[in-house]
């Protein structure tokens, strides 16, 4: 059986691809490096991380991008012996404007090397490619109109080569985005995400005999949604992508979320799941139109992977030796900007993938100024985080809830090991085995808490998920360095206790 979510924690907007016997999922990474995570499977049950594609500034520059900006909704395809990766980079999305650029990179193998990015039209985001049977390729994207009263304006199609103008093939209906086209048995199927990426999210499918339309809706309604049943374990189901196995079976990858309470806050962020698809009256459909936690796997030989080291991610800048160095189980970090700085923060972290987990690390740090601190963090974005840090004043636990900072605990001690425990909606910190006598609200680190609106216009989105990791600050750029060893992240809901060691 396939157990959902197949990619737990912050892994949204999956793009699903099969090449021969290999299956790939590419997911959004927003303000985190490496950009566009790839996971690989041979049976749709067992998945292994292949790392991120956009791992250097040549391929991606995230300096200054807002929280939940950066890389949106990648699309991974294969044609003419090359992998094609299309991705949007959102530099600004607030107050009714979208400053977005779409790019294409290619590679002969999934491991690379990847070409320099080619700029594509940027009239909207969620860009994707469709490779037709005659060899022609087309660019799809949603259209965003930033004029007052504008907004989501439908889905457009444009030949990738030549000077032909784009053509609108579907009007906006309800936050229509995330387009993918498939040609099957003489029909063009247009799959879109609708309803927004929250609790009204869904996957809709339309079809036409012509690539340019007109497209008609599946009379059965949305292919997949959780909107009608708050009791489902998997909520926010939407943003889908189809794959056909070599044996002719069909599956849908899509995003989901798991709130702590019905329609409540989602600390783990948006995750990736897979559903089995059956064809009925010429339409691809999921049983009941709702996401299942357990799904029959395809008729493929089981293919488990050898367990690999878990990866670090870095915030807004790639992991380069000028500020972070990995040496076996040791991580050395030079201090960076404040929590609200968007150019050069020094934060190295890993996704939280279970409601209950622990994280701990040994830290060696000698601050010489009030502007310096180093320690561990439970982090969502620049306005929502907790930080247990060594400072010149001793040990300090600070939290930020929508930008409002609170000092929760101080102690005149210099511990050598810092830890935290996520226990559902509760967060606890510890030092040298002693528990900090404060229970914190873990749901501060949620998509819902990160969302902020001013006079009906978005100020900040919440599209990522909770991280735990290592954070060093040097606010006056005076020069400081911290060393971390024995970094351990353990899923309390599982028997495995995997060490977070090694490189990115």
Distance CA 36, CA 26 (A): 6
- For residue 478, the 8-state DSSP code is -
CA-wise closest residue to 416 among 432, 396, 436, 430: 432
**Is residue 49 a contact partner of residue 308, using CB atoms and an 8 Å limit?**
yes
**Is residue 273 a contact partner of residue 47, using CB atoms and an 8 Å limit?**
no
Q: Which residues are catalytic?
A: 13, 177
Cα→Cα distances 307→215, 403, 468, Å: 45, 38, 21
CA-wise closest residue to 176 among 267, 246, 239, 131: 239
- Count Cβ neighbours within 10 Å for each residue of 107-140 and write b for 16 or more, e otherwise: eeebeeebeebeebebbbbbbbbbbeeeeebbbb
3-state secondary structure 446-465: CHHHHCEEECCEEEECCCCC
Cβ contacts of 248 within 8 Å, gap of 6 or more: none
Distance CA 65, CA 90 (A): 7
Q: Strand pairing partners for 400?
A: 385, 405
């Amino acid at each position: 059986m396939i157990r959902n979510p197949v990619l737990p924690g912050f892994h949204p907007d999956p793009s699903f691809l099969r090449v021969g016997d290999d299956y790939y999922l590419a997911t959004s990474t927003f303000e985190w490096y490496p950009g566009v995570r790839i996971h690989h499977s041979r049976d749709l049950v067992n998945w292994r991380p292949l790392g991120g594609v956009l791992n250097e500034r040549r391929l991606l520059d995230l300096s200054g991008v807002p929280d939940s900006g950066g890389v949106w909704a990648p699309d991974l395809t294969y044609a003419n012996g090359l992998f094609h990766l299309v991705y949007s980079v959102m530099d600004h999305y607030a107050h009714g404007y979208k400053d977005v650029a779409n790019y294409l990179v290619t590679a002969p193998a999934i491991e690379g090397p990847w070409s320099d990015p080619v700029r594509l039209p940027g009239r909207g985001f969620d860009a994707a490619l469709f490779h037709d049977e005659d060899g022609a390729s087309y660019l799809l994207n949603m259209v965003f109109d930033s004029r007052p009263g504008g907004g989501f304006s439908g889905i457009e199609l444009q030949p990738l080569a030549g000077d032909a103008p784009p053509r609108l093939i579907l009007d906006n209906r309800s936050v229509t985005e995330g387009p993918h086209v498939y040609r099957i048995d003489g029909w063009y199927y247009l799959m879109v995400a609708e309803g927004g990426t929250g609790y009204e999210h869904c996957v809709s499918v339309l079809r036409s005999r012509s690539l340019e339309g007109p497209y008609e809706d599946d009379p059965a309604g949305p292919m997949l949604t959780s909107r009608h049943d708050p009791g489902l374990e998997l909520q926010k189901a939407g943003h889908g992508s189809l794959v056909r196995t070599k044996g002719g079976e069909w599956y849908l990858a899509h995003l989901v979320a798991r709130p702590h309470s019905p329609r409540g806050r989602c600390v783990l962020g948006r995750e990736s799941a897979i559903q089995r698809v059956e064809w009925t009256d010429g339409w691809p459909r999921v049983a009941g139109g709702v996401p299942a936690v357990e799904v029959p796997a395809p008729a493929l030989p089981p293919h488990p992977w050898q367990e690999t080291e878990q990866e670090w991610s870095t915030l807004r800048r790639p992991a380069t030796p000028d500020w972070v160095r990995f040496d076996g189980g040791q991580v050395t970090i030079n201090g960076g900007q404040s929590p609200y700085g968007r150019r050069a923060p020094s934060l190295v972290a890993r996704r939280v993938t279970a409601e209950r987990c622990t994280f701990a690390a040994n830290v060696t740090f000698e601050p010489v100024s009030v502007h310096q601190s180093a320690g561990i963090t439970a982090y969502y974005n620049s306005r929502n985080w907790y930080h247990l840090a060594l400072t010149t004043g001793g040990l300090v636990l600070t939290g930020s809830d929508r930008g409002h900072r609170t000092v929760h605990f101080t102690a005149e001690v210099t511990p050598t090991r810092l830890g935290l425990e996520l226990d559902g909606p509760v967060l606890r910190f510890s030092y040298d085995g002693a528990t900090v006598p404060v229970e914190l609200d873990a749901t501060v680190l949620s998509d819902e808490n990160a969302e902020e609106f001013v006079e009906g216009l978005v100020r900040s989105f919440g599209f990522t998920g909770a991280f735990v990791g290592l954070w060093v600050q040097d606010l006056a750029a005076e020069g400081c360095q911290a060393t971390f060893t024995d970094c351990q992240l353990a899923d309390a809901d599982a028997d495995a206790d995997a060490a977070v060691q090694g490189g990115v």
